[in-house]
Amino acid sequence: MSETSIASLVAHLPASANTVPVLNPSNGKKIYDLPQLDGGQVIEAIQAARSAQLDWAQVSVVERAKALSELHALMIADEAKLLDLLQLETGKSRAHAFEETIGAIASASYFAKIAVKTLSPTKTKPGVPVLTKTYVEHAPLGVVGIITPWNYPLALTMLDVLPALAAGNSVVQKADNQTALTVLFARHLAVEAGIPAELWTVVVGDGEEVGNAITNNVDYVAFTGSTATGRKVAARAAERLIGCSLELGGKNPMIVLESANMKRAAEIAIAGAFGSAGQLCVSIERVYVPNRFKEEFQEELVKRTESLKIGRSNDFTIDIGSLGGYNQLQRVMGFVEDAISTGATVLTGGKQLTDLGPYFYAPTVITNLNPNARMYAQEVFGPVIAVEGYEDLDAAIELANQTDFGLNASVIGNEKAAMRVASRLNAGSVNINEGFRASFASMASPMGGMKASGQGRRNGTGGLLRFTEARTIGIARGLIKLPSRAKQYEKMAPIMRLLTKFLK
């Protein structure tokens, strides 16, 4: 991206003398200097968003949905730019950038399609038939704060910002410093599509300072990030009695059934574990395989992992790109070193690939993982998968559920048998004969986590309605006046008793 295009995107941000350099993870070179806002500037942005929201709430849902449809068309036209930007900031391969972009584009048409029906007032069953009637309206909340991480900046932005806007709210979004340009470009397209500029403000800066300023001042916060930060956001939101949705980390298991074809299972595992170099919340990190197939599965997994092409390229010639930066590299190396020091065997990978760039890491397959190893229970968030054998299926299900997390899970094998296993897994999504994409790609299906993986769900009608507040309208129809004096109650009581008994 040219310097002028970057400057025009950054021009949306309030000025600040304080900047941080943003590096391209694929080569370690500086892309640009990103201004850092302070808490006061964030509060000003929220105040401006609050007054812009009043007008937007008066715009019909049909008009709001039209803007989303237009955005869908603009994103399709600018797909190549979106892919370039995503790769520039995240270091992911073209293939993984494409997967993310296609999902983000689909979300614009999905929310455009469901907005009118989902947000229309619904008639509900009245308490006193004939005498009263009731409706539920879906009122916007006001200013929605959206806090997003760096790993899926386009998809996660669209999946939260678009329903919030469609519901009649304004948005103040904290983008992660590493991937702010992608978010700013998405916003630029939204404005071109007819969303008033003041409705969606992007802010950047120190996570705690900017994040706290948002949670302390908005009417709802949609947070995506680590469980540790999510807990802090939830505590702050609870203190203010505002709603929040939390899309947090995972330690996602895959169970390979006896009925599975081991070659196919290994191929599904590499797609499930190494997408975006494993830096994906729903990525598979542990696989349970029947003991008698463990050797065969491991051989297939290693062979396939070693055949993956790693590197950087703006076309579809590379399977896996770089890690997201220095911190990610340190994190992944730390987990692997700890696993080795506690007795794990590295079957392949387990090393940095310095020839390719500063933060490339070889996709890694591990076995004999000691339960004391940090990665046994904690999320690695990198291209590392651990294989463990099991003797009977109940034990495998118990192992899969033995985690604080509950985001995603996968079952490989006969579909009917896999469905039975799926219903016993404590996870917000379970993918059968797939790692994560079958559920992740469905905009109509709720996405989110059980246990420490989160609270609330994005996508589906619920993903839109979470940005609204129910307002019940009760109407006394005036055919017979409702009682106000004791004697009138006495007269009506027999009729009410009969109605209660027979109409239930």
Is 100 a binder of ligand NAD (CB under 6 A)?
A: no
Active site residue 247: yes
Strand 408-412 versus strand 252-256 pairing type? parallel
Determine the angle formed by the axes of helices 79-90 and 180-192, rounding to 10 degrees.
Answer: 160
Tell me the closest approach of the beta carbon of residue 33 to ligand NAD, in angstroms. 17
Q: Kindly state the DSSP code that residue 219 receives in the 8-state scheme.
A: S
Is 297 a binder of ligand NAD (CB under 6 A)?
A: no
Is 149 a binder of ligand NAD (CB under 6 A)?
A: yes
Go through 425-455 and write b for each residue having 16 or more CB atoms within 10 A of its CB, e for each that does not. Answer: bbbbbbbbbbbbbebbebbeebbbbbbbbbb
Complex with ligand NAD: residue 175 or 396, whichever CB lies closer? 175
Tell me the closest approach of the beta carbon of residue 148 to ligand NAD, in angstroms. 6
Tell me the closest approach of the beta carbon of residue 11 to ligand NAD, in angstroms. 21
Catalytic residue among 89, 99, 100, 281: 281
Among 232, 240, 263, 437, binds ligand NAD (CB under 6 A): 232
Cα–Cα distance for residue pair 232/214, rounded to 1 Å: 13
Q: Is 156 within 8 Å of 149 (Cβ atoms)?
A: yes
Cβ neighbours of 202 (radius 10 Å): 25
Catalytic residue among 247, 285, 379, 388: 247
Which parts of 354-393 interact with ligand NAD (CB under 6 A)? 379, 381
Is 234 a binder of ligand NAD (CB under 6 A)?
A: no
Provide the 3-class DSSP secondary structure of residue 200: strand
Among 101, 170, 201, 224, binds ligand NAD (CB under 6 A): 224
* Count of residues in the chain: 504
Complex with ligand NAD: residue 68 or 407, whichever CB lies closer? 407
Among 39, 91, 153, 225, binds ligand NAD (CB under 6 A): 225
Tell me the closest approach of the beta carbon of residue 42 to ligand NAD, in angstroms. 11
Question: Which residue minimizes CB distance to ligand NAD?
Answer: 211
Is 248 a binder of ligand NAD (CB under 6 A)?
A: yes
Q: Is 6 within 8 Å of 181 (Cβ atoms)?
A: yes
What type of residue sits at position 97?
A
Tell me the closest approach of the beta carbon of residue 211 to ligand NAD, in angstroms. 2
Q: Which of 139, 141, 149 is nearest to 171 (CA)?
A: 141
Which parts of 418-457 interact with ligand NAD (CB under 6 A)? 449, 454
Both structure tokens of 357: 């760039």
Provide the 3-class DSSP secondary structure of residue 86: helix
Tell me the closest approach of the beta carbon of residue 405 to ligand NAD, in angstroms. 9
Is 249 a binder of ligand NAD (CB under 6 A)?
A: yes
Q: Which of 430, 325, 299, 343 is nearest to 381 (CA)?
A: 325
Complex with ligand NAD: residue 208 or 392, whichever CB lies closer? 208
Q: Kindly state the DSSP code that residue 139 receives in the 8-state scheme.
A: E
What string marks each residue from 274 to 293 as x (binds ligand NAD by CB under 6 A) or -? -------x------------
What string marks each residue from 27 to 56 as x (binds ligand NAD by CB under 6 A) or -? ------------------------------
Element (H, E) at 348: strand 345-348
Among 179, 201, 229, 367, binds ligand NAD (CB under 6 A): 229
Among 89, 219, 247, 319, binds ligand NAD (CB under 6 A): 247
Tell me the closest approach of the beta carbon of residue 402 to ligand NAD, in angstroms. 19
Cα distances from 45 to residues 22, 37, 372, in angstroms, run 23, 11, 46
- CB neighbour class for 355 (10 Å; exposed up to 12, middle 13-18, buried from 19): exposed
Is 150 a binder of ligand NAD (CB under 6 A)?
A: yes
- CB neighbour class for 423 (10 Å; exposed up to 12, middle 13-18, buried from 19): exposed
Complex with ligand NAD: residue 149 or 253, whichever CB lies closer? 149
Cα–Cα distance for residue pair 452/226, rounded to 1 Å: 10
Which of the stretches 111-119, 142-150, 313-321, 392-400 binds ligand NAD when contact is defined by CB under 6 A?
142-150
Name the one residue in this structure whose structure tokens are 């947070």: 223
Which of the stretches 1-9, 241-249, 342-350, 367-375 binds ligand NAD when contact is defined by CB under 6 A?
241-249
Active site residue 244: no
Is 233 a binder of ligand NAD (CB under 6 A)?
A: yes
Tell me the closest approach of the beta carbon of residue 155 to ligand NAD, in angstroms. 9
Which parts of 157-216 interact with ligand NAD (CB under 6 A)? 174, 176, 207-208, 211-212
Complex with ligand NAD: residue 226 or 433, whichever CB lies closer? 226
Q: Which of 392, 383, 388, 437 is nearest to 410 (CA)?
A: 437
H-type alpha helices, 294-429: 294-306, 326-341, 374-377, 393-401, 415-422
Both structure tokens of 199: 């409705």
Binding residues for ligand NAD, how many (CB under 6 A)?
A: 29
Q: Which of 19, 45, 31, 52 is nearest to 210 (CA)?
A: 45
Q: What are phi and psi of 140, to 5 degrees?
A: -65, 160
Tell me the closest approach of the beta carbon of residue 327 to ligand NAD, in angstroms. 8
Q: Which residues are catalytic?
A: 247, 281
Contact residues: ligand NAD, CB under 6 A: 147-152, 156, 174, 176, 207-208, 211-212, 224-226, 229, 232-233, 247-250, 281, 379, 381, 407, 449, 454
